[in-house]
Amino acid sequence: MIACKGIIFYPPVNTVKKDGQAGSLKQLREGFFLSLRTCFGKIGSILLAVSLALILPAAPLAAETGGDLGAQADTAAVAKPGIAAAGAGMAATSRIGRGKSDAAARTGVDSMKNESAAHSGAAVNEEQPAVEPGAVPDLAKNARSAILMDADSGTVIYEKNGHEPLPPASITKVMTMLLVMEALDRGELQWNEPVTVSEYAASMGGSQIFLEPGEQMTVEDLMKGVAMASANDASVALAERVAGSEELFVQKMNERARELGMKNTKFVNSNGLPAPDHYTSAHDIAIMSRELLKHEAITKYTGKYQDYLRSDTDNPFWLVNTNKLVRFYEGADGLKTGYTSEAKFCLSATAKKGDFRVIAVVLGEPDTKTRNSEVTAMFNYAFSQYTNLKLYDAGAKLGTAKVEKGKADKIDLVANRKYSVLLKRGIDPKQIRHELVLKKELKAPVAAGQVIGTLNVYNGDQKIAEFPVESPMAVDKAGLWTLIKRTAGKMFFLD
C-alpha cells in the first residue's frame, strides 16, 4: 500500500454547491485526481483511479450481499450441521427433521415465525435447538402424527404434525403412571401397600384385569396391570388411591401437564377411554414419556413381556404386554400402547442401546403391524445416525455457588439427572467442551430447585446446549448475629 504522508485531500471549491450539498461524482473524482497528482504524479494517479473505480461501486454491492448474509445467518440459526444439542430446558422446541406432510403444511417465512412463537415459552421441557430441518426421511408415512426424541436431551430428531391435538387412547396412562411414581417417590404410596378396589373402578370396561369391588391388590400389581395389560380398572383404582377420586386425580393430571409445558393436552379421565374434549399431541406425549422415564424403576414393568397377577390364588391371571416391541426389538422396554376406534392404533415406545435412549410416538396408525413397523424404522434411524455423549451422571458434583447473606454461605451443586448431548455419528467428541456459568451476586433466600446458573456446552466455539443448574437446597437469610460473626471471622482469618 502506498501512502502520501502529510497531504490531505480537499476538494476544489467548485465541487461543492452553495447550499452545502456535495457535487457530482464526476466532480469529486476530478478534484481527487488533481490533488493526487501533487503527490504521486501521473503514474500514481492512474493506479489509484483504477482502484477508485473498483471501490466506488462497492456500496450497492455490499447492500445486496448484506441481504444474502442475512439470509445465511437465518439459515445458520437453524442448520448446524452434524450436531443436535442435549437439553435442560432453556430453549424452545427443537427439531432435526419433519415428515413431508408436516413440512408441506408449514410454508413461508410467516408460518415459520408463527410456529416458532407457538413452540417457545416456559423452558420446562428441557429441549435444545436441533439441526438439518427436512433432512430426515418420512419415517411414519401412515401415522397421523409422530415424533422421535432423544430421551436424555429432549432433542427432536423427527416430527410429523407433532403438535396436532388428537385422542390418545390408553397412552393417557403414561401420565397416570407418572403421578403414581411421583407419589411413591414422595412416600405417599408404598409398592406393597394393598389398595381396596371401589365399585366404580371395577366397573371400567375395555382392557382390564377384572378387578372385583372390595378386592385388594398391591400398588405394584396394579401398576403391572396398567403398564402391561393397559388395565382401565387398575388405572382408576390407583387414581382413587392417590387423589381420593378419579375426578381429583384428573385435575392433578392436567396440573402436571401444564407444569411440563404440554400445551396441546387436556385429560378428562385417567385411562383414555373415549370422552369428549380428551386430547393430547405426539409432542406432549413425548414430554410426559420422557418425564416418566426419569423414574428408572418404571421399565421393570413396561419392559416385561409377560407376568402373572393373583399368582397365589386358584385363578392366576396371565399378563401379556400389549407392546410387542419389548419382545421383538432389542433394547425396547416400554412404554404404552393405545387403541380406540377414534384414535386408531397409537404407541409411545422407548428403546435404549448403551447410554443412548430414544422415544418414538405414533398416533393414528391403521393397524398394529404398521404401527410397530414404523416405530421400528424410527428406532433404527436414530441408532444408526446418532449417538450421545455423557457429560455428567446424576449426582455428580458440578461446582460450588457462593451465597450472600445466607445461613449457608455456599451451595454444593450436583447434577439432578444425567447430562448428555446428542451428536451426529462421525463428530469428534473431543471437540465438545462445557462450562458452568453461575448467576452473579446470588443472595439469600434461595429456594430449592431455583435456577442459579447454566451449564453451557460448546462444539468448538459454537454453543450447542444450555442446561439450567438448580439449587439442590433452600438457603434462608442469615440473622444479624450470624452475619457479624461471619464478617469478624473473615477479618481475623478465622474461617
Catalytic residue annotation: 170, 173, 230
Query: Could you tell me which of 326, 302, 306 has the C-alpha nearest to residue 318?
Result: 306
462 touches 419 (CB < 8 A) = no
Q: Phi and psi for 273 in degrees, rounded to 5?
A: -60, 145
The alpha-carbon radius of gyration of the chain (Å, integer) is: 31
Q: Across the beta sheet with 451-459, what order do the strands follow?
A: 432-438, 451-459, 462-470
d(CA 465, CA 426): 19
Residue with cell 455457588: 401
How far is CA 129 from each of CA 42, 117, 228, 348, rounded to the nearest angstrom? 59, 14, 34, 23
> Could you tell me whether strands 356-365 and 344-353 are parallel, antiparallel, or unpaired per DSSP bridges?
antiparallel
Query: Could you tell me which of 256, 274, 273 has the C-alpha nearest to residue 265?
Result: 256
361 touches 395 (CB < 8 A) = no
Q: How far is CA 326 from the centre of its chain?
A: 25
Residue 245: helix, strand or coil by DSSP? coil
> Could you tell me whether strands 462-470 and 451-459 are parallel, antiparallel, or unpaired per DSSP bridges?
antiparallel
302 touches 224 (CB < 8 A) = no
d(CA 318, CA 320): 7
The β-bridge partners of 390 are 420
The three grid cell numbers given for residue 332, joined into one nine-digit string: 425396547
The three grid cell numbers given for residue 278, joined into one nine-digit string: 380428551
Residue 353 DSSP one-character state = E
d(CA 64, CA 66): 5
d(CA 235, CA 209): 10
381 touches 355 (CB < 8 A) = no
* 367-381 residues labelled b (16+ CB within 10 A) or e (exposed): eeebbbebbbbbbeb
148 touches 347 (CB < 8 A) = no
The three grid cell numbers given for residue 394, joined into one nine-digit string: 446424576
